[in-house]
Chain A
Amino acid sequence: MLVITCPYCGPRCESEFSNGGEAHIERPKDPESLSDAEWAEFVFLRNNPKGLLLERWNHAQGCRRWFNVARDTVTYEILAVYPMGSPPPALAPKRYV
């Protein structure tokens, strides 16, 4: 059970949140101009890295706001929390082989 620091409400228990998958996947501005493969890349394909993952969380049983989390998928350490629309902060994540 993680502790996630909602950028608005502060540190809260994971059970208040829902995970929204990988972050920084922007909806294409003009979907009709994409090939099937390009569109499928947007809809279906996600990274599953060992180590640093930038992901979206929603404070579902709280302020209902979405935000981004940088999390190490090995240690579950949360390296940063930052608002929607912001680029990820500079991080020095552990590297795994």
Chain B
Amino acid sequence: MSGRMRLPHGGQVDHEKPLSFTFNGKTYTGLAGDTLASALLANGVHLVGRSFKYHRPRGIVTAGPEEPNALVQVGEDPRTDPNMKATQLELVEGLSARSQNAWPSVEFDIGAVNTLAARAIPAGFYYKTFMWPASAWKTYEHVIRRAAGLGTSPQQRDPDRYDKTYAHCDVLVVGAGPAGLAAALAAGRSGARVVLVEQDHLLGGALLNASEEMIDGVPALDWVRSAETELAQMPNLRILRRTVAYGAFDHGFYGLMENVTDHLAEAPDHLPRHRLWKLRAAKAVFCCGAIERPLVFADNDRPGVMTASSVQSYVNRYALKPGKRAVVFTNNDSGYGAALDMTAAGIEVAAVIDLRAAPGGPLTERAEAAGLRILADHAIIGTAGKKRVTKVRVAELSAEGDAVVGTAEEIDCDLVAVSGGWNPTVHLFCHAKGSLEWDEDHACFVPGKAMQAGQQVAGSANGAFGLAACLAEGAEAGAAAAAEAGFEPGAAVTAESDDRDFLPGRWMWLVPSDKPLGQKAKHFVDQQNDVTAADLKLALREGYVSIEHVKRYTTTGMATDQGKLGNVNAIGIVAEAFGRPLPEVGVTTFRPPFTPVSFGIFAGRDVDDLLDPLRRTPMHAWHERNGALFEDVGQWRRPWYYPQFGEDMHQAVNREVKAVRESLGVLDASTLGKIDIQGPDAAEFLNRVYTNAWKKLDIGKARYGLMLGEDGMVMDDGVTTRLGENHFLMTTTTGNAAPVLAHLEDYLQTEWPDLQVYLTSVTEQFATITLSGPNARTLMAELSDAELSPNALPHMGYTAAKVAGVPARIFRISFTGELSYEINVPASFGMAVWQTVMTAGERYGITPYGTEAMHVLRAEKGYIIVGQETDGSVTPLDLDMGWAVSKTKDFIGKRSLTRADMQKPDRKQLVGILTQDPKEVLPEGAQLVEGVLPQPPMPMLGHVTSSYYSPNCGRSIAMALIKGGLARKGETLYAPLEGGKTVACVVAESPVFFDPEGKRLNG
């Protein structure tokens, strides 16, 4: 038996498939096809949590995504999810869930003392009480959050896998109710590519909850089944079940979250848990249905008070009795549907309380005919019951409807089915910035003008509440969407049905009671955030005018249900209090997601070692095998240093640095950006993009160049070689390869399209092996057929020859200050040539060195690194590199160098820094001051950009950007460090600390 309240047969549940589950530690049985909520109700469990602020007992209110109360924590760490709506959670064997907003238990809740102190917790209470002093909020917040609690996040790593994918279609149909099915049929029959999205696992939408609707002369669900069969056979149509269209974005871009395996007791290993669909749809039809509105009456939050349509859903779809004796409270005709369905299911309907003075409408008439007790022009003015409603108090309304008259009657009941009218589900339409209009007759906001072309709304989401209208609008919208997308219409979709609306209605935002508002009873507007009508009125008394501000102050409509139930009631109450028409008050902004989505889908498979590409050079495997530690340079992974025999970093780097100066080092420089430049105007082009002159560079010669932005700031540097009359190879820094190419293409295409130049990236065409050190030439001579004499291949010379039998480009350029060759070989040969070099170099003690040693070596020579010595605010003049800046030609950024601000004497300039204690190595980033004050702040002159211990100089060396630095040579400055230590240092005469004459370089 799947619960004592279960009906013996019927509904969309499988009575032959019992499923066992636990809630708050207790084991229950439900049926396949149940949600957690329906399974609990079938077992007579209404109480599922405690309210956010007052810890009042709360029960299941709805049967869908609008549920404010039945939020549960599912599963155990690490597979645990907070804030799951029991009304949408498909029951699965072994499901374990618990109330999340009750401590120590939902039955006995310590926090419920807040109920007694309720008058002390009005709207804005937290703001008023805890915001001063500001620092104390941190303390209060912990306590409040724990007491209130909206579930707990998993503490361990998520063990599940998530997927994301792009997708495209001609027509997206959201919602597979009658309108959506008709739209999908119409669009699908045209041959358009259609995606039909349904958050439920069953198609049918509201028809699943209905008892006796007919379409084309057959029961509605039979029609749904035949529609489903036809759709499933269309190769051009994809049905995504258990998928929520959570957001509509620009240009027909939609976010969908598909639940792939949560409904399976055992998830197959090869499937992701959830999938994000990044769907681009040319046209869209939103058939999202409508959500029934509750009525705002005194103590309307007791467990057992539910929306009338969800009562119908539980009776008809889930085959259960949510109560034994019910009262219906309505202001329109649709509430009577619940009365009739309950009666048919054997639930006693004690009375229908109707706010309308003259109840009418097709269902009302049937209820009258069935002899139900109907109390017209009456209201529920209070409820009773501790953990479940036990009775309601009912009284007659005054002539104006703003008060009650006469004596109240008490009616015993354990279920109250409430209908306050219907709100079209306009969320997606509003995400896409569609505008809303107020439908005075139906008292609801309906879609107005779409901002994005090709978006339509159909069915009750569009304010067409009758079934025939839903079907007709859906069919029409689906056909129109396909036609707009360029498809010939297929067979027309026709479906005959009744077109009963829920009118007439009497719209009353706040149901009067016999007590002053807010005293001894609460009229809840937003149950999830515990916002009452009194809170709204307080906010207005305190001067809030804009509905957006009222929302933020009272927090109405701000939690996981995003006001799906309460927003229009709140707006109505505010409008009434202001005496303004409701549409003038306006609506708050609808934002994605429609319902909460898991974080996992946004990460997808881009986690762990797929988080970001790790770019590997052709010799990467060698570095790994030889114990390199790596440094990330952009996405590249470069050898940092190669520790040997238990060396620490300092020892390893010192050894590598000395080996280069004393004999021979080898560096994998493949990551340097390389741009192939060809064309008759190549030299002219370089002349315009570099600060120095290029036209007279000889073929076979290389030159250092500085590249600026138009703002005059250094953007990149590198060596460019003239390979032929109209052919250059530019190198860029590793990190700037792509930005520099983009920068060059920009000027070439947009400013100087007349220049005949083509640029091609060849960064990865070559493996670059740099040999550096006094023995570099000796080894090269053994490996290469190139002419290597200083005359044949001088510093800044280039030749093409073979190295280790492989065709190579050899550049005699140096970033270490040593005799140095950069050898470019085809990338696929990189590993072979590297290994040959290592073997042949053994007799010279060839030492692979990493980026750290490279940094020390270049710093010994005072060579800058763009991005380390520069930060986008540094000009060549600030770097004292005026020698590289032409006075006679224009180049990108030149004019900026003579702007008044660039001439200021206190600009930060690059200088060498030597600590007074040669062993002291300044931390990079250390601030330098003229004099140390007892405590900060003190005027800062600048900061250390590079700092190393140099074994070749036998002391520490550093560079710094200092205000007016070039005029401070010889001055003593101080670096006040963390922990109170101060390091004295001197501005060096030159930042070139090693071999200032460059003998080694030119040898």
Contacts and interface: CB of A to CB of B under 8 A. Distances in A.
**Chain A bound to chain B:** yes
Contact of A32 (B253, B711, B745, B895): B895
Contacts of A75: 433, 451-452
Nearest to A44: B711
A31 B749 contact: no
Given A3-B252, A3-B280, A76-B250, A39 B742 contact: no
Interface in A6-37: 13, 18, 20, 26-28, 31-32, 34, 36
A43 B711 contact: yes
B710 interface: yes
B749 A40 contact: no
Given A56-B750, A58-B742, A66-B750, A32 B890 contact: yes
Chain B interface residue bracket vs A:
20 to 34
B894 interface: yes
B888 to A, nearest CB: 11
Chain A interface residue bracket vs B:
20 to 34
A47 to B, nearest CB: 17
B896 A2 contact: no
Contacts of B710: 27, 42-43
Nearest to B709: A43
Contacts of A40: 899
Contact of B746 (A28, A32, A66): A66
Nearest to B168: A13
B746 A20 contact: yes
A89 interface: no
B751 interface: yes
Interface string B162-177: 0000100000000000
Given A31-B890, A85-B753, A64 B745 contact: yes
Nearest to B747: A27
B873 to A, nearest CB: 14
Nearest to B278: A1
A27 B451 contact: no
A36 B900 CA distance: 7
Interface string A46-88: 0000000000101010001110000000011000000011000
A53 to B, nearest CB: 15
A93 to B, nearest CB: 15
B251 A84 contact: no
Given A43-B710, A43-B711, A31 B451 contact: no
Nearest to B453: A77
Contacts of A44: 711
B753 A39 contact: no
Given A3-B251, A3-B252, A32-B890, A60 B753 contact: no
Nearest to B891: A31
B223 interface: no
B433 A2 contact: no
Contact of B749 (A26, A42, A65): A65
Interface in B724-746: 742, 745-746
A66 B745 contact: yes
Contacts of A3: 251-253, 280
B249 interface: yes
A31 B894 contact: yes
Given A36-B900, A56-B750, A85-B753, A76 B742 contact: no
A14 to B, nearest CB: 8
Nearest to A38: B895
B900 A2 contact: no
A58 B751 CA distance: 14
B708 to A, nearest CB: 11
B487 to A, nearest CB: 18
Contacts of B250: 1-2, 76
A1 B746 contact: no
A77 B959 CA distance: 50
Nearest to A68: B750
Contacts of B753: 84-85
B895 A34 contact: yes
A84 B280 CA distance: 28
B896 A43 contact: yes
A39 B894 CA distance: 11
Contact of A39 (B253, B751, B895): B895
A17 B278 CA distance: 17
B750 A84 contact: yes
Contacts of A36: 899-900
Contacts of B895: 28, 31-32, 34, 39
Nearest to A20: B746
A28 B893 CA distance: 12
A66 B278 CA distance: 26
5 contacts: A3-B251, A32-B890, A34-B895, A36-B900, A76-B251
Nearest 8 pairs of A and B residues by beta carbon:
A31-B895, A1-B253, A3-B251, A66-B749, A76-B250, A27-B751, A36-B899, A2-B251
Given A28-B895, A32-B895, 18 more contacts: A1-B249, A1-B253, A1-B278, A1-B280, A2-B251, A3-B253, A13-B280, A26-B751, A27-B710, A39-B895, A43-B710, A43-B896, A44-B711, A56-B750, A64-B745, A66-B746, A76-B251, A84-B750
